Amino acid sequence: KIGVINMGKPVTSNVSRAETTALNTKVNKEVFESFKDYCAYLGYPMNVVLETFMRQYANGRFELDKEDILKFKNDGKEVDTLNTTFNKKIYLDFKSICKNNGYFVKHVIIAFMEKFSSRDFILEYTNIADVKEFYGKSITSIFGKFNKEVAKML
C-alpha cells in the first residue's frame, strides 16, 4: 500500500508489481560495454531501455535489418553475460516474435544494443506509464535526455 497526501487528505492505493522474468545470456562484449556506457551516460537503467525496445519490437513499431541481427550469430568475438530482469509478459511477447521471425533473442538484443549505442535514432516511449507502474518510481521521460542530446547534434 502506498499512502499519499492529497490536499491535506490521506489517500491510500493498492499497488502491485508486474511479474518478472530473468534473462541470462552471453552477448558480444564490445557491443555490451558500449551499450552499458551509453545507458550510464544517459542515466537510464539498461533493463528499462531494453524492455522499452522489446515492447516496441513485439508490437511491430521497431524493426532491425536481418543482416544486423544475423551478423552476431557466429561473430567469434569475446562475450560477456547479460543478466537482468524484465516484465514477464513483455519479454514473452518479444521472445515469441523473435522465434516467429527465426531469430534467437540474444541476437536481436545485441543488434538493438549496437543500434542504440550508435546514437542514430530516437526510441519511442509512448508507454512510459507502464514503465513507471512496473518499476514503481517516477520516470518522467525515459529518453528525454537522449532526445536533447540528439537535438544538440542536429
Say yes or no to pLDDT of 44 above 70: yes
Mean pLDDT of 32-46: 90
Q: CA-to-CA distance for 62 and 126, rounded, in angstroms?
A: 13
Mean pLDDT of 83-108: 92
- Asked if 79 and 41 count as a contact pair (C-beta separation under 8 A), the reply is no
C-alpha closest to that of 27 among 69, 89, 61, 88: 69
Over pLDDT 70: what percentage of the chain?
A: 67
Mean pLDDT of 74-100: 89
Residues 6+ positions from 107 with CB-CB distance below 8 Å = 69, 70, 72, 73
Q: CA-to-CA distance for 103 and 93, rounded, in angstroms?
A: 14
